Structure formats: structure tokens, C-alpha cells
């Protein structure tokens, strides 16, 4: 008896689920469905273009995709081309692995002005995600404000200040590369409501900011405490001590010949985006941290900037027919079980936290639950999915098709760049005609 599983989403959590199902040694047929022709979710569209080593994890996913019991259904949007209810009829188990593709909103006056972007959009734009190709952020500005002090904020700052030489070996989208190179940008401000100890950077990402060719990390030494105090786990304590040491090292970076600056602004809570139609600045309230919470001091300052990027977290989109917890932006589930035969993994299950590897246990748990729950298969699986999509004239991009698209991207690369990304779906499909 073959158990038919449809996994919606080809990011890390989807692939780890498929991998675990295959590893179980059970008789499974796994269909991985993605709305984009390109697989791998945020590995392609989120992880920074200058972090190519991190993106190499996709090679392990490729092994899974090429397994004879797995089929990739790219360019198939669940909700548009086929519904969850239909998949529940065609497959024994449906796994939601759709991630958290939108931004938490800033929620301050002026956050609807032209020039305010969420990091999902901004990162998607520089990573060539087809949804954001036409975002067109105006980088003809001298200063950018990034709200948030986590790794996504640091990624965005770094991509904005690296030199063309530093970006040569990346797969930044061509439109973004041109805009960044032309930009007269000199200052990036990163705002964190709380202090340097509470900042969520991992140390590798933070350290990179001290090694940039043309950019100086700027930090107010009076904001750096003598030591890390507070109730942290041993692991967090070590990370925070490393981060504090790194920030101290920033004070020693030689400013000579550095045209750009990234300002780490801690204890600073943006309260209003200033300007008429377009962003002209940011009003910020100084804060104190009490009991781990940032409290406004009533003291304000402003900075001039022409662009604001909110990197304060991601949010999932409710899925029709699936119970959704709007407070936390995740599906309602019990240990990953959503309903009979429906499971959740990754960011749609846990919320937008953790690194790529954090999604692996989710996949293992879902695979185990599926194999425990489903004792007999009554569904037609892939054949019926193919038939339904053919009826609707959906152009399925299978894994071999994706390999052709990828080959064309690699062939189009210039210099040491690993690929030149297609940034719209039609261009990808044209390669296959």
C-alpha cells in the first residue's frame, strides 16, 4: 500500500518532511507543490545573496527531489490552481509547509508613506523573488532606516553597503545590484527598542559588519554594558557575550577610507515616519529597558532618511479551509496535527523563528505522525493531481524543468557570480518552451 502525501511548499520544512518520509523506508509517494517554478522557498528568496554557502543546503534537498518516489509540482498555487479540500481528496495526507511570506507591520503613524517597505518585500526584491520584481524602492537616497536588530535587518544593511567587488560572487538580482551600485547612500541606521544584549543577531552575521571594505559600524560605547547580565540560558549567555565582544571590537575599526556607515541605534523606538507623501525621516523615542521591556522615556530625536525597511518579523497568510491563529500568525494545530490527514511544519506551524535546521525536527515529527495516523490508503494521489491540473491548463514545472531553468541562470551569469536569476515567471517558462 502506497501512502500518498502532498506537501505544500518546497522550502526547508517541506523538504525535511519529504526526506523523513523517504527515510522511513515505508511505501510513500510524495508530491511537493510550490506556487513558484523555483523550489527551496527562502533558501532562494530570503537567505542573503552573499551567503552562498548557506544556500548550498539546497543540494541536499535536490537529492530528495530526484528520488523516484518524489515529484515536484512547481508553478502550482494551492488556493488558486487547486484547493486544500481537493488535495485532501486526492492524497492521504496534506502537509502545510507554506512559510510566513508577509511582514509584521510597523504600526506607527506614517508607515503607509511611499518608501516604507517590509523586509519580506525588500529582501524578496534584492533576491529576485518574482512577487517583488517591480517593487522599485528608491535608493537615490543618502540614508536608510532599518527597524529591527535581528539577522534579517543585518542582511539588508549589509547588502546595501557592500561594494560591487564584495557582491561579485553573489546572485543578487540584477535590478537590485544596479540600484545599489548607483545609490549615493552613505548611512544606514538600525533601530532596536531594547539594548545590545537583547539584539537577536547571531555572532557570525554581526562580525561581518566589522569586516566590510567600505563601511564602518558605528555604535555608542556608552550603550555597551560591562558584562552580560540577566536570566539567559547558558547558550544565550555565551552568544550575547560574543556579540558584546564583537560590538566592542567595532569601536576599534579603522574609519579611514570608509565612505559608508551602519549606525547601531539601541534603546531607540521609532514612533513616526516623517514626510509628506514620501518618507523624509523617522521620529524615534529613546527608551529604557525595565524587566526586559522597553519603556519610552519621552525624549525624542529624528533622523533624515529616504527609505524605511521594517525588519520586525514575518507573518503567515491564512489558508482557506484551515483554522488560523491571527494573534500569532500560524495555523492552529496540536503538535503539528491540524485536522484529519492535515499537518503543519516550519514557519506556518511555529512562526517565523529559527534557522534552516530548526525546520528539520518538524519534518521528522510530521512524517512520524503521518505514518502513525494513516494505516490504509484510499486515494489516487499523483495521477489525480496531474489530471486535475491538466484539466485547468496549469503549466506544471517539474524538477527536470527547474534544472533547465537553473542551467540557463548559471549560463547567463557574468564573472564569478553563481547565476543570473530570472526575476519573473514568464521568463522562466520561456526557457522551457
Contact footprint for ligand FAD (CB under 6 A): 8-14, 33-36, 41-42, 46-47, 51, 54, 77-79, 97-99, 123, 152, 155, 314, 346-347, 354-356, 358-359
Among candidate residues 344, 290, 285, 355, the one with its CA nearest the CA of residue 318: 344
What is the sign, positive or negative, of the torsion defined by CA atoms of 31, 94, 388, 385? positive
Closer by beta carbon to ligand FAD, 35 or else 104 = 35
Closest distance of CB 175 from ligand FAD, Å: 18
Report the C-alpha gap between 81 and 74 in whole angstroms: 12
- Strands (E) across 291-427 are located at 293-304, 307-310, 314-315, 324-325, 330-331, 337-339, 342-344
Q: Give the burial string for 382-395 (b: 16+ CB within 10 Å, else e).
A: bebbbebbeeeebe
Report the C-alpha gap between 281 and 108 in whole angstroms: 13
Cell numbers found for residue 316: 503567515
CA atoms in the 13 A half-sphere facing the CB of 359:
32
Closest distance of CB 15 from ligand FAD, Å: 8
Closer by beta carbon to ligand FAD, 54 or else 186 = 54
Q: Are 252 and 178 in contact (CB under 8 A)?
A: no
Report the C-alpha gap between 279 and 308 in whole angstroms: 7
Closer by beta carbon to ligand FAD, 1 or else 355 = 355
- Angle, nearest 10°, between helix axes 12-23 and 359-373? 50
Closer by beta carbon to ligand FAD, 72 or else 314 = 314
Closer by beta carbon to ligand FAD, 267 or else 402 = 402
Question: Do β-strands 293-304 and 281-290 pair in parallel, antiparallel, or remain unpaired?
Answer: antiparallel
β-bridge partners, 143: 187
DSSP state of 317: P
Closer by beta carbon to ligand FAD, 267 or else 347 = 347
Closer by beta carbon to ligand FAD, 11 or else 281 = 11
Closer by beta carbon to ligand FAD, 175 or else 350 = 350
Closer by beta carbon to ligand FAD, 35 or else 175 = 35
Report the C-alpha gap between 229 and 240 in whole angstroms: 10
Report the C-alpha gap between 353 and 27 in whole angstroms: 32
Amino acid at each position: 500500500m502506497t501512502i500518498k502525501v502532498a506537501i505544500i511548499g518546497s522550502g526547508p520544512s517541506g523538504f525535511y518532511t519529504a526526506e523523513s518520509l523517504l527515510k522511513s523506508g515505508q511505501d510513500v509517494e510524495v508530491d511537493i507543490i510550490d506556487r513558484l517554478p523555483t523550489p527551496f522557498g527562502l533558501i532562494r528568496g530570503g537567505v542573503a545573496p552573499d551567503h552562498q554557502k548557506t544556500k548550498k543546503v539546497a543540494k541536499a534537498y535536490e537529492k530528495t527531489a530526484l528520488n523516484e518516489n518524489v515529484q515536484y509540482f512547481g508553478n502550482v498555487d494551492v488556493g488558486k490552481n487547486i484547493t486544500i479540500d481537493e488535495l485532501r481528496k486526492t492524497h492521504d495526507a496534506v502537509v502545510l509547509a507554506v512559510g510566513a511570506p508577509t511582514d509584521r507591520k510597523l504600526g506607527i503613524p506614517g508607515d503607509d508613506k511611499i518608501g516604507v517597505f517590509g523586509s519580506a518585500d525588500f529582501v524578496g526584491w534584492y533576491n529576485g523573488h518574482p512577487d517583488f520584481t517591480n517593487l522599485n524602492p528608491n535608493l537615490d537616497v543618502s540614508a536608510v532606516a532599518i527597524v529591527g536588530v535581528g539577522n534579517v535587518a543585518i542582511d539588508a544593511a549589509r547588502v546595501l553597503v557592500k561594494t560591487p567587488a564584495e557582491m561579485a560572487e553573489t546572485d543578487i538580482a540584477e535590478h537590485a545590484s544596479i540600484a545599489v551600485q548607483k545609490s549615493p547612500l552613505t548611512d544606514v541606521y538600525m533601530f532596536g527598542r531594547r539594548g545590545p544584549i537583547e539584539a537577536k543577531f547571531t555572532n557570525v552575521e554581526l562580525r561581518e559588519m566589522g569586516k566590510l571594505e567600505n563601511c564602518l559600524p558605528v555604535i555608542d560605547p556608552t550603550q555597551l554594558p560591562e558584562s552580560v547580565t540577566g536570566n539567559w540560558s547558558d547558550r544565550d549567555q555565551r552568544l550575547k557575550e560574543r556579540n558584546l565582544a564583537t560590538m566592542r571590537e567595532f569601536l576599534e575599526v579603522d574609519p579611514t577610507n570608509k565612505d559608508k556607515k551602519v549606525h547601531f541605534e539601541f534603546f531607540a523606538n521609532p514612533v513616526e515616519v516623517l514626510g509628506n507623501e514620501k518618507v523624509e525621516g523617522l521620529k524615534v523615542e529613546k527608551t529604557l529597558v525595565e524587566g526586559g521591556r522597553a519603556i519610552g522615556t519621552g525624549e525624542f530625536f529624528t533622523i533624515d532618511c529616504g527609505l524605511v525597511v521594517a525588519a520586525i518579523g514575518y507573518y503567515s497568510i491564512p489558508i482557506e479551509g484551515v483554522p488560523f491563529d491571527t494573534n500569532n500568525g500560524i495555523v492552529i494545530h496540536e503538535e503539528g496535527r491540524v485536522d484529519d490527514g492535515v499537518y503543519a511544519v516550519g514557519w506556518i506551524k511555529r512562526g517565523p523563528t529559527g534557522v534552516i535546521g530548526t525546520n528539520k525536527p518538524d519534518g521528522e515529527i510530521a512524517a512520524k505522525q503521518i505514518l502513525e495516523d494513516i494505516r490504509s490508503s484510499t486515494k489516487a494521489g499523483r495521477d489525480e493531481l496531474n489530471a486535475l491540473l491538466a484539466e485547468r491548463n496549469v503549466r506544471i514545472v517539474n524538477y527536470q524543468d527547474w534544472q533547465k531553468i537553473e542551467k540557463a541562470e548559471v549560463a547567463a551569469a557574468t564573472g564569478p557570480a553563481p547565476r543570473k536569476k530570472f526575476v519573473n515567471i514568464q521568463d522562466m517558462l520561456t526557457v522551457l518552451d
